[in-house]
Chains A and B, each alone.
Chain A
Amino acid sequence: MGSSIAIEGLHAGYGAVRVIEDVTISAAPAETVVLLGTNGNGKSTLMKCILGLVRPSAGRIVADIDGGRHDLTRLSTEEIVDLGIALVPEGRRLFPKLTVEENLLLGAYRRSAREQMGRNLDTCFSVFPQLAERRGQLAGSLSGGEQQMLALGRALMLAPKILLVDEPSVGLAPILVARTIDAIKELKDKYQLTVLMAEQNFTQAVRIADRGYVIVHGRIAVEGRSADELNNNDLIKKFYLGL
């Protein structure tokens, strides 16, 4: 069993602006795949396409969830969330004027997630104990690192099969970036998640990656079939790292 996701020949954009052109990527069950690229190359748009927040103009997004096959381009965001695909959005996007606990409960808004809400809440608090201490506090008053933990916790409330993480490093101090990446790795190992992570921070992202892609101007420029291949690719050194 396990869950995987495959994107084939995806084209997407906003109005006349084309952002993603012919992107084909995949993530196998319990695999961590990173999507590398600097600002404005279409990483977030790709994430939004998977969740149905942006409608692609062409291409297919197919998710295999525990044996069932689903064409995500035909489903609404709510239905996609129902399948167990959770997004940790770029910049965290918490609900700043709601409490930590309310933020977490909103992660389990769907009926499918509601049945196990109590258990998932306990799981969240055991993974991130500092959230339990601050459960009654407003999310906007948390520190940046705690906010990122809350964003991850909110996604966990869905008991997701596939976890999409969009730029977890944004706005965090380097030490917190490392901690966040570690937390993602820990969650993935613990719950056998399939993780697709978009990130700019090459060294941190590659640390936990099984495989990866580099996206440049909306196209996949490089595919690395292992973390080593990503680390040692000359094209990446040239185009992406500027070495």
Chain B
Amino acid sequence: MRSWVFLIVALIVAAAVFAAALLVRTTYGDYLLFAGYVVLQYVVLATAWNILGGYCGYVNFGSAAFFAIGAYTTVALHKLGANPGRYLSDTPFEVLGTLLPLSLPTLILLGGIVSGLVGFGMGYLTLRLRGVFFAIATLAMAVVLQTIVVNWDYVGGSRGAYIIRPDAAEIGPVSLAYIQYLFLAMMLLAVFALWVARTIERSRMGLGLAAIRDDEPAAEASGVPTLRLKLAATALSGALMGMAGAPFPYYVGYVEPANAFGLPYAVNAIAMPMIGGTTTWAGPLVGALVLGSLQQIATVTFRSEASLLIVGVLLVGFVIVAPRGIVGLVENWRRPKKKKLKSPQ
């Protein structure tokens, strides 16, 4: 399937899901939209993680930090927009004040840019690190960024910041309840992320990243521009995570370091692709849909603390029984009669 065909099909599916969500709203209220938003947010996060972790083999433990950068970019810009006279009274900045408040798509774009730049910087600083050392560096970066945010008074520090969600959003003549608008935005973002991931997977860049994952020195000796590819992957992965985080303040209404940098983001971003399968774009999608839905169901039927427990148990199970994830299981099941390959010599 060509890239643009995939994009159109994905958009049609997204439109169908959105229409269905609006229909069930009359019976179930907004709850399904709130739950669906979280699941979609994990689709974006898992897909973004997989570009670096799955395709390139660099495990990033700092997903929550990129997510939080997107969220706090929104908080900072929202605050600026809520009170432009206070922060932008000097003449050169007055022009900027007229642009505010920024629309949600703009905020998502800006969150993505800031996060992408941080991803690029992280990639540049940690390029010599491989395997577990890279993973530790990303974890450290998350801690450093959280400390910075805790001590940054403008965005609320450890007190957090309240963001009042607008009642409705106008798209041309159509007026949507704000949660519908957020759901739609995250849906489109998920389609975009999947399209990016799939395009990379089937491009020369995807082949180069796979070579880095398999044997980086050999890739370099073959003339694969490892430095450039890794930087592109860290920046893209970071940007998509930031974009997933940008609408978050409007979703929760109250952002504090502990929830924006929350453990669930880092854990889910790794576990969902692992459980779904890391080598294709479908893996993170399946993983996020299955795990995300399970977590939402557990939250209402049992208790919310169970969600990470589910992830942990499933992750252990899959790593032992099906290391190639759900996608790998399906592939094996579709070609069951293929004889086993002989081991080397």
Contacts and interface: CB of A to CB of B under 8 A. Distances in A.
A81 B207 CA distance: 18
A14 B214 CA distance: 24
Nearest to A114: B204
Contacts of A78: 223-225
Interface stretch (B106-114, B180-188, B261-269, B336-344): B336-344
Given A95-B211, A95-B215, A109-B208, A137 B223 contact: no
A81 B223 contact: yes
Given A98-B210, A141-B342, A143-B345, A106 B219 contact: yes
A141 B220 contact: no
Contacts of A45: none
Interface string A160-172: 0000000000000
Contacts of A137: 341
B223 A77 contact: yes
B262 to A, nearest CB: 33
A106 B224 contact: yes
Nearest to B213: A97
Interface in B199-238: 204, 207-208, 210-211, 213-215, 217-225
A144 B208 contact: no
A33 interface: no
A194 interface: no
Contacts of A144: 344-345
Interface string A139-169: 0111110010000001000100000000000
- Range, interface on chain A: 20 to 34
Contacts of B207: 98, 102, 105-106, 109
B344 A147 contact: yes
B334 to A, nearest CB: 16
Contacts, number: 73
Nearest to A97: B214
A94 B220 contact: no
B126 to A, nearest CB: 20
A96 B210 CA distance: 10
A5 interface: no
Contacts of B208: 106, 109
A89 B221 CA distance: 8
Contacts of A93: 215, 217-218, 221
Contacts of A110: 223
B277 to A, nearest CB: 13
Given A94-B215, A105-B207, A106-B207, A81 B343 contact: no
A149 B158 CA distance: 61
A179 to B, nearest CB: 14
Contacts of B219: 95, 106
B218 A94 contact: yes
Contacts of B224: 78, 106, 109
A198 interface: no
A205 interface: no
A65 interface: no
B223 A109 contact: yes
Interface in B5-63: none
A65 B219 CA distance: 23
A77 B221 contact: yes
Contacts of B225: 78
Interface in B239-281: none
Contacts of A102: 207, 210
A53 B222 CA distance: 11
Contact of A143 (B204, B211, B217, B344): B344
Contacts of B215: 93-96
A142 B344 CA distance: 5
| Most chain A CB atoms below 10 A, which of B211, B220, B221, B225 | B221
A121 interface: no
27 contacts: A53-B221, A78-B224, A78-B225, A81-B221, A81-B222, A82-B223, A87-B221, A89-B217, A89-B218, A93-B217, A94-B215, A95-B211, A95-B214, A95-B218, A95-B219, A98-B210, A106-B208, A106-B211, A106-B219, A109-B208, A109-B222, A109-B224, A141-B342, A141-B343, A142-B344, A143-B345, A147-B344
Interface of B: 204, 207-208, 210-211, 213-215, 217-225, 341-345
Given A53-B217, A81-B221, A107-B222, 6 more contacts: A81-B222, A95-B210, A106-B207, A109-B224, A110-B223, A137-B341
Interface of A: 51, 53, 77-78, 81-82, 87, 89, 93-98, 102, 105-107, 109-110, 113, 137-138, 140-144, 147, 154, 158
